[in-house]
A = this chain, B = another copy of it.
Amino acid sequence: MTTKKCVAVIGASGYAGAELVRLISGHPHVTLNLITSRQYAGQSYENVFPAFTGCMNLSCEHFRSDEAIQKADIFFLALPHKTSMNIAAPLLDAGKKVVDLSADFRFKNQSMYETYYQSHEAPHWLRKAVYGLSEVNKEEISTAQIIGNPGCYPTSILLPLIPLLKEKLIDSTGIIADSKSGVSGAGRSLSLGTLYCEVNEGFTAYKVAEHRHEPEINENLSLAAGENVQVLFVPHLIPMSRGIVSTIYARSQASEVKLRECLCEAYKNCSFVRVLPDGRMPNAAHVRGTNYCDIGIKYSREKGMAVIVSTIDNLIKGAAGQAIQNMNIMMGFSETDGIDAIPFPV
């Protein structure tokens, strides 16, 4: 039996950070050796997330890169944009593997990143970063040192669309992604908009055609299609904690059978993508707590439109779970290690 690798979660006080902690705690090949939080430094982690009482005896520390380098081999960064790149650079310089959950290492096109976020302060590492859409970029991920872990909405949209665009089964223009997310996607920071009473029994669109996940989606679809793809992306907030459902509209001349076959073929060796049979549409509840992405397809011949519906748990396949999946690929572990939970029936 080999020694377990030591890992760190930098920025463990948000929901994605906490899911990383949970998943790492159950992972067979790694040990959690460091968790950091600026806000909760010095506090026991079960104080930050009482659900973990008795399951986790680490306390939050302030991040100091010299200490961190001593404590872990693999780093998960669950930090705000900008903070992340500055913390990643010294870790990477020291030869550590990094999976970054912010947007800082997601873009191939630095100027696109800088248009939507801010100037990049570690462009050298940005150029080496691999976009961690596990099923699509598996080979590059396996040899990467730094992964830009995909956004939650992009994951739900890219997984169904990339194979279809590659095979030219859908038009590359006029694609619409009408996405709906549970509230945990907004994070654990205090804001009026995420108070219980403001969300409960409501439903609304936000940042219509203005969300920063749109350029991330477009860059990756364009790469897949070999031409410029510009999706119209409209996110909404669902009154539930976890889960994203993306309903995607694309013009197509293919049949429903062909569209389904294409996705089945693309993901036939992928444990976490479930292409649903004819007549079934995915439900966010059926992937909750798991790393699955479920995809349903309906083709309207009359309208010449494909309707593709995908769902993920935004905190798992849309964040922490895919980050672990990427680590598994990088480290040569089995791809499902630590993220093989079976969905709850209810």
Residues of A within 8 A of B (CB): 15, 18-19, 21-22, 25-26, 49-56, 174, 176, 178, 180, 182-184, 188, 190-192, 194-206, 208-209, 230, 232, 234, 236, 238-243, 245, 247, 249, 274, 276, 280-289, 294, 296, 298, 300, 302-303, 305, 307, 309, 311, 315, 340-346
Residues of B within 8 A of A282 (CB): 204
**Shortest Cβ distance from residue A133 to the other chain B in the assembled complex, whole angstroms:** 20
Residues of B contacting A249 in the complex (Cβ-Cβ under 8 angstroms)? 176, 178, 232, 249
Task: Give the docked Cα–Cα distance between A284 and B178 (Å).
Answer: 17
Given contacts A15-B346, A22-B344, A343-B51, contact A284 B208 (CB under 8 A): no
Contact B346 A197, beta carbon cutoff 8 Å: yes
Contacts of A197 in B (CB 8 A): 15, 183-184, 188, 194, 241, 346
- Are B53 and A274 neighbours in the complex by a CB distance under 8 Å? yes
The docked-state distance in angstroms from the alpha carbon of A304 to that of B269 is 39
List chain B residues, Cβ under 8 A from A305. 176, 209, 232
Which among A190, A205, A206 has the highest number of chain B CB atoms within 10 Å?
A205
Number of copies: 4
Question: Measured between alpha carbons, how far is A284 from B237 in the docked complex, in Å?
Answer: 11
A190's contact among B56, B191, B274, by CB below 8 Å, is which? B191
B183 and A180 contacting across the interface, CB-CB below 8 Å: no
CB distance from A32 to the nearest CB of B (A): 11
* Complex interface: chain B residues within 8 A of A198 (CB): 196, 285, 346
**Given A180-B236, A241-B200: A343 and B195 interface contact (C-beta under 8 Å):** no
With a cutoff of 8 Å between Cβ atoms, the chain B residues found around residue A208 in the complex are 281, 298, 307, 309
- Across the interface, which residues of B come within 8 angstroms of A26, CB to CB? 340-342
Chain B contacts for A232, CB-based, 8 A:
249, 300, 303, 305, 307
Partner of A196 from the list B19, B195, B206, B234 (CB cut-off 8 Å) is B195
